Chains A and B, each alone.
Chain A
Amino acid sequence: MIEYIVKRDGRKEAFDDYKIYDAMHSAYIASGSRDKKLTRWVVNRVVETLESRCGDSLPTVEMTQDVVEESLIKAGYVHTAKAYILYRDKRTHERERQSALMKTIHDITFQDAKDNDLKRENANINSDSSMGMMLKFGSETSKSFFLNSIAREDVSRAHRDGYIPIHDMDFAAIGTTTCTQIPIDKLFTRGFSTGNGYLREPQSINTAAALTAIIIQSNQNEQHGGQSIPLFDYYLAPYVARSYAKRICEVASILKPETDAAGLRKKLRAIYDEKGTLLGEKDSVFALLEELSIDKKTAEYIVGRAAALIKKDTYQAMEGLIHNLNTLSSRAGAQVPFSSINFGTDTTEEGRMVTENLLLATEAGMGYGETPIFPVSIFKVKSGINLNEGDPNHDLFRLACRCSAKRLFPNFSFIDAPFNLSFYKEGMPETEVGYMGCRTRVLADVNGDQVTPGRGNLSFTSINLPRLAIEADGDIDRFYESLDSYMELVVRQLLDRFVFQCKKRMKNFPFMIGQATWNHAEELVADDTLESVLKHGTLSIGFIGLAEALVALIGRHHGESAEAQALGLEIVRRMRAFCDAKTKEYSLNFTLLATPAEGLSGRFIRIDKKRFGEIKGVTDRDYYTNSFHVPVYYQISPFKKIDTEAPYHELTNAGHISYVEVDGDPLQNLEAFEAIIRHMAKKGIGYGSINHPVDRDPVCGYVGIINDVCPRCGRKEGEPLSPEKYAELKEIYHLK
């Protein structure tokens, strides 16, 4: 007589033969009841067999299941046995998945980020913080749920096997979208609510800058990517004018207390509304002051003083914005918002003041001279506006170069690149290209206006090109065949995700939809689903490792051979044509992305190394090369690198970025720095940047290149200064 059974986890439990009957009965039902009626008799055979096999020891669950299978087959219940085996197999898989998930959660709990690669998946999320860990728990569980319960089987398999990385998969079951180019002008003029109370239109540059940060933060909490302001200088300019008007009235009231300040302000505002600038309309201002019988000399003093004050106001507002964007929490405190700011083309005095002071505040750095990590600032380059000597904003372009040479930001975007210029309409800044800091670009719209603001990316999934190339074994046709079939699979997955996203409602996104940071969201009412808004977003197919794929196919990458470059362009052109065809077919914006793949490149090469072994130039590193980049380890001149990568910018309409790595201190050679940026402009790069070492000694606050010894205080890494030396430095610099 069996009294106990040993469970999988080793615990003993009372043996209950009814459970055996239960499992067999479920299998009987699942088989479509095609066998004769199941009876108690079979259960008794199982128990007897167990008794005879076990002797004095206890039966285990595994053993019992084996005996059940055997007994069913012996007794002629073939269909039931088959169903039972399938059921058992499925349960085993589920257990394995669950235990893999539990292992992941165990590691998140007991390992620090420095020992756990997963916790450093995204460098700007602190997964050691309490809420960061909570997010990581959610993220890993959600990924597992999506793959096992939502995604189609072939999609899950392709993701797991490393063919198609589905990005931000932890948010797939939540239905969020990636990012937004936020038209803050609309939110400013309408006023907006973040949930508890309504914020009216700002009346000063200071408030406008503060509200910008709040808008970015609020929208960030409802998406899984980042937030960008596409026309920062244009959007903030009116509030510079308002602050300036305020300053004029203030100074005038001090000098001439009987001045009707409110009336003056109204008239000043009318000038701005009519002319589009107040700072640039000095004569009209003087005329107004004369009407108030303020003498010429006093008037000059008022205008001069107000001009000096507004400069300071604007600087402080920009400084405050940068500080806010590096300290505001989003997503339960695990990270600051991923914020980007595009600017540089507004030529009004007010717009120029915004750009200039944003750059100056970036250059100055944070409280102890630290380099601001956010916002990703992006200077929009355009000939006739800022690129060339004599252009109205040329001084700002030069300042941008100086700032970037010190702080790595701004990055540079190029409106004159032919694929950006074709959208550009003079006098319509919304047709200027705007980039998300990471590289995402949204401009064409098959369903509406070709504009940047009020739209964003919905989701993207990449293709692991080196894998397809290795499998094709040098056969280009075979490579294209599998590329096409995986692109089809990605399209299906993006569409599934799109349908899921569209089923959401305003209540799911009270800010993004409720306060309409997306175009057309203001036309929705509470219970509407989101298709009419989201159809303006982009669905992107990305790719990683073009360089390794080319080596796998023809033995060379595009940085080292013209033949490889031709093939590389052919491959990427094919991908773009595929996206364009799908855009037509579905009337949705399918676009091609040069994937950044920060968190993925390592995972994919590990899988491929295991599967195919170490292939020279393909799987022999620890990462796959970013999108279409020339491999980082390949020695090439900066100009040749730009020439090689530029043609891919045109093809990757969902976004792209190219880097040039320079050594030495670019501040000592700004002319060369500028020459590189100009070369980018000339060659049709859409978005680019120059990387150079920016080091900082947190003790003395020195920012620049630090090799082994800090040039300012002379200490080596980890070594202390003497208290005397510290005190001496503290006299000169702003130290902790």
Chain B
Amino acid sequence: MTEAAEKEKYGKGVGFERIRRITGYLVGSLEKFNDAKRKEESERVKHIDLNKDSDENIGNYR
């Protein structure tokens, strides 16, 4: 293994993968999106936080 490959194995220069769904499909990383869709993804707001204040919210619909 070259030195660079060794470093990469430990994570030097290696980013996190962020998988997102768009048009029904998943895409393995945001870099593959075209500019418009990348922007769309970045502007998406979350409709609810399932780990926080959601219980009373959800409760109304049970």
Contact = CB atoms under 8 A, between A and B. Distances in A.
B33 A719 contact: no
Q: Is the interface of B mostly helix, strand, loop or mixed?
A: mixed
A562 to B, nearest CB: 19
A601 interface: yes
Given A623-B40, A717-B15, A120 B34 contact: yes
B10 A123 contact: no
B17 A696 contact: yes
B11 to A, nearest CB: 4
Given A117-B35, A679-B61, A718 B26 contact: no
A124 B19 CA distance: 12
Contacts of B35: 117, 120, 602, 622
Contacts of B46: 661-663
Contact of B18 (A601, A603, A679, A695): A695
- Most chain-A Cβ atoms within 10 A of its Cβ — which of B17, B18, B23, B49? B23
B46 to A, nearest CB: 4
Nearest to B39: A622
Nearest to A693: B18
B56 to A, nearest CB: 11
Contacts of A672: 48, 50, 54-55, 58
Contact of B47 (A623, A638, A666, A718): A638
Interface in A113-133: 113-114, 117, 120-121, 123-124
A671 interface: yes
Interface residues of A, number: 81
B58 A675 contact: yes
A672 B47 CA distance: 13
Interface in A631-656: 632-639, 641
A723 B37 contact: no
Contact of A601 (B31, B36, B61): B36
B19 A668 contact: no
A663 B48 contact: yes
Given A632-B40, A666-B50, A676-B48, 4 more contacts: A633-B44, A660-B47, A669-B51, A672-B50
A335 to B, nearest CB: 11
Contacts of A376: 24-26
A622 to B, nearest CB: 4
Contact of A662 (B13, B43, B48): B48
Contact of A634 (B21, B45, B52): B45
19 contacts: A123-B25, A123-B32, A338-B25, A371-B19, A371-B28, A376-B25, A601-B40, A605-B36, A637-B48, A659-B21, A661-B47, A664-B50, A665-B51, A695-B16, A695-B18, A699-B14, A717-B16, A720-B11, A722-B10
A150 interface: no
B25 to A, nearest CB: 6
A371 B26 contact: yes
A252 B36 CA distance: 61
A697 interface: yes
A29 interface: no
Interface string B1-16: 0000001011111111
A162 B21 CA distance: 26
B42 to A, nearest CB: 10
A722 B11 CA distance: 9
Nearest to B40: A623
A438 B12 contact: no
A33 B16 CA distance: 72
A123 B37 contact: yes
A671 B51 CA distance: 11
B26 A409 contact: yes
A638 B48 contact: yes
A490 B27 CA distance: 31
